[in-house]
């Protein structure tokens, strides 16, 4: 693998000792600001008998408790802001699908930082100023559209803000404007690819070259399908509104983990059950501390995302730590009949059955004091003939395979192609009605 371009080599290739010194200086400034200006953090310090000076080294961060989504929700909408609203020039919210949204505010400096971080990821994924970049992330309170847009403009690419338009419009723009780079949610990229196949549009007739996808978990199989069907090279971008939006980390050309922007974020991995800090390489829940955010810094924020972090050198030359692709969330796990089940376990079975997927929705409910698991699975494409028999066959095949893996009966319902996601907007994979 030859090394590709690096947007900000001075930062992205800093030696580790310098990264840590840099982080510490920024962390101390952040802690001072949070302590002075955010009631929640001042109280946190007081309750733990701490003052900002107690954070003298990076390892002292552990003295602080975690910040949770619930803490942010309790401060809705502006309670976690560290500056008055007149300093805040943009507001976004997490696209969380259950409960109260979490709100974040960016100062002008925060927007500049964010733009730079996304530019780094786009360049790492192979996008250049010569690309025509079609963005199909939603533009709105969701940070995806605006975040990627700003980064692509900074690089100097020609940006098409198509947002969450329907598939036919996306394809028409790809054809007419000679799009070279696609940026959006991976499941929507796959749906666009499937629709193109159904309508007989040859990807060779397009100008596509690369794609940067993220905002939701996606498997290697989905990556392969997107790459083969659209004839592009696809890389992953990760982030969450609470920590700064997309740009927290992104893959380089080696695609062996996502480089975390360590000049802006300190990453920790903890055991999601005990909160205990894990060793490098061990899988657990990601926790981030922002070290340069003015509008809304977060200290030890629990993401709910499961990954593992390594500081081992990468062939690309970047020195920033890499996190493994996020495949599941700690809170997407459902316990049913005493078994822990993650959507990715179901995805692995769905992937084996020809004609269905990739989208599915899991519903857990309780009927007559017993837990029941129902799965709606999309058809991959319109069935050519003998619909009733084909659907029955697919239902049986899926329920048999799932029964074998899970060890109990599961109700399967086959849904129309592309009926389980709407125009590239993220939808929940698991609905646990027992919790509602
Ligand atoms: O999804 C920010 C984003 C936009 C990232 C566009 C990348 C591209 P939220 O709406 O706050 O922000 O949702 C954040 O989405 O905690 C993960 O669970 C999930 N997620 C985001 N990117 C990835 C990814 C944006 N590449 C939540 N792989 C996060 C897996 C991802 N999950």
* Confidence band for 262, pLDDT divided at 50, 70 and 90: very high
Nearest to 302 by CA among 218, 242, 377, 352: 242
Q: Which residue has the tokens 């179901």?
A: 346
**Cβ neighbours of residue 98 under 8 Å, at least 6 residues apart?**
428
CA angle 39, 293, 243 (to 5 degrees): 90
For a ligand 1 pocket test, name from 117, 121, 239, 255 the mutation site with the most ligand atoms within 8 angstroms of its C-beta. Answer: 239
Query: Does residue 7 carry a pLDDT above 80?
Result: yes
Q: pTM for the whole thing?
A: 0.90
pLDDT exceeding 90 applies to what percent of the chain? 77
**Residues 190, 237: Cα–Cα separation, whole Å:** 16
Q: Quote the tokens at residue 188.
A: 């929507």
Query: Does residue 425 carry a pLDDT above 80?
Result: no
Q: Which run of H or of E encompasses 101? A: none
* Confidence band for 1, pLDDT divided at 50, 70 and 90: very low
* Confidence band for 12, pLDDT divided at 50, 70 and 90: very high
* Summary mean pLDDT of the chain: 93
Measure the CA dihedral 8/11/13/19, to 10°: -160
97-106, 273-282, 385-394: lowest mean pLDDT where?
97-106
Query: Does residue 264 carry a pLDDT above 90?
Result: yes
* Confidence band for 4, pLDDT divided at 50, 70 and 90: confident
What is the average pLDDT across 2-8?
84
* Confidence band for 435, pLDDT divided at 50, 70 and 90: low
Crossing angle for the helix pair 186-198 and 167-176, nearest 10 degrees? 80
Q: How far away, in angstroms, is 214 Cα from ligand 1 center?
A: 6
Terminal Cα distance for the chain, rounded: 49
Tens digit of each residue's pLDDT (9 = 90 or more) over 286-311? 999 999 999 999 999 999 999 999 99
For a ligand 1 pocket test, name from 102, 238, 298 the mutation site with the most ligand atoms within 8 angstroms of its C-beta. Answer: 238
Pocket around ligand 1: residues whose beta carbon is below 6 Å from it? 94-95, 137, 142-144, 214-217, 236-241, 245-246, 303, 305, 326, 329
What is the average pLDDT across 239-266?
97
Report in angstroms the alpha-carbon separations of 434 from 272, 317, 368.
21, 48, 12
What is the average pLDDT across 352-357?
90
Domain ranges of the chain: 1-332, 333-435
Do the beta carbons of residue 161 and residue 149 sit within 8 Å?
yes
Do the beta carbons of residue 167 and residue 192 sit within 8 Å?
yes
Q: What pLDDT shows up at residue 342?
A: 82
Q: How far away, in angstroms, is 409 Cα from ligand 1 center?
A: 32
Report which protein residue has its CA nearest ligand 1's atom 21: 215
**Residues 59, 154: Cα–Cα separation, whole Å:** 35
Q: Quick one: 386 exposed, middle or buried, by C-beta within 10 A (0-12, 13-18, 19+)? A: exposed
Q: How far away, in angstroms, is 326 Cα from ligand 1 center?
A: 9
Query: Does residue 72 carry a pLDDT above 50?
Result: yes
Number of other residues whose CB lies within 10 A of the CB of residue 149: 21
Q: What pLDDT shows up at residue 436?
A: 62
Q: Which fold has domain 333-435?
A: GMP Synthetase; Chain A, domain 3 (3.30.300)
86-90, 94-98, 207-211, 323-327: lowest mean pLDDT where?
94-98
Kindly state the DSSP code that residue 52 receives in the 8-state scheme: G
Q: What pLDDT shows up at residue 96?
A: 58
What is the average pLDDT across 416-434?
80
Nearest to 358 by CA among 282, 267, 419, 294: 419
Q: Which fold has domain 1-332?
A: Rossmann fold (3.40.50)
């Amino acid at each position: 693998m030859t090394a590709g371009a690096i947007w900000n080599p001075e930062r992205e290739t800093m030696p580790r000792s310098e990264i840590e010194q840099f982080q510490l200086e920024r962390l101390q400034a952040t802690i001072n600001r949070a302590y002075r200006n955010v009631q929640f953090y001042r109280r946190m310090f007081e309750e733990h008998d701490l003052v900002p000076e107690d954070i003298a080294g990076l390892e002292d961060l552990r003295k602080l408790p975690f910040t949770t989504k619930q803490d942010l929700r309790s401060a809705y909408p502006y309670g976690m802001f560290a500056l008055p609203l007149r300093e805040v020039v943009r507001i976004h919210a997490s696209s969380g699908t259950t409960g109260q949204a979490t709100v974040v505010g960016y100062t002008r400096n925060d927007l500049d930082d964010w733009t730079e971080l996304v530019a780094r990821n786009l360049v790492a994924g192979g996008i250049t100023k010569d690309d025509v970049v079609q963005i199909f992330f939603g533009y709105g309170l969701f940070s995806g559209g605006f975040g990627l847009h700003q980064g692509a403009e900074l690089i100097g690419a020609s940006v098409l803000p198509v947002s969450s338009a329907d598939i036919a419009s996306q394809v028409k723009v790809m054809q007419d404007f000679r799009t070279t780079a696609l940026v959006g949610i991976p499941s929507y990229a796959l749906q666009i690819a499937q629709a193109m196949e159904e309508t007989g549009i040859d990807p060779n007739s397009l100008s596509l070259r690369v794609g940067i996808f993220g905002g939701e978990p996606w498997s290697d199989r989905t990556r392969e399908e997107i790459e083969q069907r659209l004839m592009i090279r696809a890389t992953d971008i990760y982030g969450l509104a609470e920590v700064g939006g997309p740009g927290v980390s992104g893959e380089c050309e080696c695609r062996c983990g996502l480089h975390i922007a360590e000049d802006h974020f300190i990453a920790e991995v903890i055991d999601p059950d005990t909160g205990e800090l894990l060793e490098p390489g061990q899988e657990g829940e990601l926790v981030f501390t922002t070290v340069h955010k003015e509008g809304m810094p977060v200290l030890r924020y629990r993401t709910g995302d499961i990954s593992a972090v390594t500081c081992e050198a990468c062939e690309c030359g970047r020195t920033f730590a890499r996190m493994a692709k996020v495949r599941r969330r700690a809170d997407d796990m459902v316990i049913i009949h005493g078994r822990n089940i993650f959507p990715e376990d179901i995805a692995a079975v769905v992937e084996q059955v020809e004609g269905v997927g990739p989208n599915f929705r899991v519903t857990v409910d309780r009927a007559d004091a017993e837990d029941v698991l129902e799965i709606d699975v999309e058809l991959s494409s319109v069935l050519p003939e003998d619909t009733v028999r084909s659907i029955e066959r697919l239902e049986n095949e899926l329920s048999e395979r799932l029964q074998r893996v899970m060890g109990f009966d599961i109700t399967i319902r086959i849904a129309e192609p592309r009926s389980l996601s709407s125009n590239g907007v993220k939808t929940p994979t698991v609905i646990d009605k027992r919790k509602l």
